[in-house]
Amino acid sequence: MQETHSKIFFSKNNVNPLDDSTKPVIITDNFSTPENIGHIIRLAANVGALKVVVLRSENLRKSKIKKTAGTAIDHIPLVFSETDRLQDHIPEDYTFTALETAEGAKNIFNTSLPDKLALVLGNEKYGISDEMLKLCNLKVYIPMPGTVKSMNVTHAASVCLFEWLRQHS
């Protein structure tokens, strides 16, 4: 039987880590589900993100976040912040990019994503707040040709981050 364990696979198929100066930052805006934050932390560890910044979700159970994130919680800095302090946690030369079906959004697969990505993800039901959308220099969406036109925020983040990785690897 063939061995399929990921640690063994990646030890044989080297994937170079990202340069610290271009690692993406992931920003969650008012998530209502601790498990989604945990999944974002795990995804951040998958792509080698610089950090995850959590806005307006400080009352969520940290134990559920930690349980869902698993060992990734020990590898990705996690910052809980107020929106007015967000700039303190994002390097100056990063481009705030909204993953949202908002006015002026561009198809993610036809758009060059910035080298220094600060990815903004919105609330599971209401999306990115107007306050955060105003901070974003770029808005992208994922085309969905099927009958369902919504996607779990963590799945959408995966599509976006791996598209960014594809473009910048």
CATH code: domain of residue 103:
3.40.1280.10
Q: How far apart are CA 9 and CA 52, in angstroms?
A: 27
Neighbours of 124 (CB within 10 A): 16
The verdict on residue 77 lying in a domain is yes
Would you give the distance in Å from CA 21 to the centre of its chain? Answer: 17
pLDDT at 129: 96
The verdict on residue 7 lying in a domain is no
Helices (H), the chain: 6-12, 34-47, 62-69, 130-135, 153-168
Q: How many domains does the chain have?
A: 1
pLDDT in tens, 110-133: 999 999 999 999 999 999 999 999
Neighbours of 103 (CB within 10 A): 7
pTM: 0.93
Q: Is the pLDDT of residue 75 over 90?
A: yes
The verdict on residue 54 lying in a domain is yes
The verdict on residue 10 lying in a domain is no
Q: How far apart are CA 86 and CA 83, in angstroms?
A: 5
pLDDT in tens, 2-55: 666 777 777 666 677 788 889 999 999 999 999 999 999 999 999 999 999 999
Q: Which domain holds residue 53?
A: 18-168
The verdict on residue 145 lying in a domain is yes
Taking alpha carbons only, the member of 20, 159, 146 closest to residue 94 is 20
The verdict on residue 9 lying in a domain is no
pLDDT in tens, 57-66: 778 888 999 9
